[in-house]
């Protein structure tokens, strides 16, 4: 496996094919600065082609997930001229795209503040777990700003009608409401229950072949933007490759022999 980058704003822990990534700026409720964005992108690049890394679990230190963008970074960008804000904002959008299209299953564990950029990260995860008291929101308009890079992913996740209400009111809501909106999949009432749910979800993920999961994720994301005829033609090719590939042969043989396939832990 490729060496993981050394990070100052992230804690990294690889265990049993799962890379746990903890946003680690607790003094600022893990607000995302340029360094954190760069380090997250470097980690994603390092594991992109590593099929031994089956899942990425993203959480936050100090009881919070992420309170959004770092205001100090915005102030520094202001001093560098008008193009600096655009470049800084677009880098965060690139991070969201890379998380969205990571071949691994991306799981977010959402506690405390899940605001702005943190909200965006939740929207690009494959599976989202939340504490019932987590506080979600898009506060940008209350600061005279706009959720520029986050908006497309929010709309994809919860739909245009809800996205408009949340973005145009800066309303806050909790984990239970987030589940009703379809933003998160599981809501738990304490840290222990959240950890147990994560273990349960990971057990299911690790039953699936990593290559098949990566191809399926690619297919599902493409279905939102690609014409169905062309996509179905492409999907048939991917299916043929899977059936005759290493995972397909092992999976079907394991089924016939009534045993677990080699990738199942």
Q: Model-level pTM?
A: 0.94
Q: Which of 22-26, 78-82, 251-255 has the lowest mean pLDDT?
A: 78-82
Tell me the per-residue pLDDT of 141-192, one tens digit each, with 9 for 90 and over: 999 999 999 999 999 999 999 999 999 999 999 999 999 999 999 999 999 9
- What dotted CATH number matches 10-205? 3.90.226.10
Instruction: Please give the mean pLDDT across all residues of the chain.
Output: 94
DSSP-derived secondary structure for 231-242: HHHHHHHHHHHH
Can you tell me whether residue 249 is helix, strand or coil? helix
Domain boundaries, the chain: 10-205, 210-256
Q: Does residue 117 surpass a pLDDT of 90?
A: yes
Strand extents, DSSP E, the chain: 10-15, 18-23, 55-60, 105-110, 113-115, 127-131, 135-137, 172-173, 186-188
> CA-to-CA distance for 253 and 208, rounded, in angstroms?
15
Q: What end-to-end distance do the CA atoms of the chain give, in Å?
A: 19
């Amino acid at each position: 496996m490729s060496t993981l980058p050394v990070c100052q704003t992230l804690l990294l822990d690889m265990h049993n094919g799962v890379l746990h990534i903890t946003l680690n700026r607790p003094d600022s409720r893990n607000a995302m600065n340029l360094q954190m964005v760069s380090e997250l992108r470097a980690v994603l690049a390092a594991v992109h082609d590593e099929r031994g890394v089956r899942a990425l679990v993203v959480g936050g230190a100090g009881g919070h997930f992420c309170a959004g963008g770092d205001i100090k970074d915005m102030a520094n960008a202001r001093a560098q001229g008008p193009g600096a804000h655009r470049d800084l904002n677009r880098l965060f959008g690139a991070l969201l795209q890379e998380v969205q299209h990571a071949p691994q299953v991306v799981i977010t564990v959402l506690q405390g503040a899940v605001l702005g950029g943190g909200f965006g990260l939740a929207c690009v995860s494959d599976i989202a777990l939340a504490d019932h008291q987590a506080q979600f929101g898009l506060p940008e308009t209350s600061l005279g700003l706009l959720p520029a890079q986050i908006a497309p992913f929010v709309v994809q996740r919860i739909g245009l009608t809800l996205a408009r209400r949340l973005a145009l009111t800066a309303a806050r809501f909790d984990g239970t409401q987030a589940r009703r909106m379809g933003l998160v999949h599981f809501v738990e009432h304490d840290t222990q229950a959240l950890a147990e749910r994560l273990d349960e979800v990971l057990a299911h993920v690790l039953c699936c072949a990593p290559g098949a999961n990566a191809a399926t994720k690619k297919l599902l994301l493409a279905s939102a933007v690609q014409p169905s005829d062309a996509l179905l033609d492409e999907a048939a090719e991917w299916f043929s490759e899977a059936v005759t590939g290493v995972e397909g042969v092992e999976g079907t043989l394991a089924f016939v022999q009534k045993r677990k396939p080699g990738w199942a832990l």
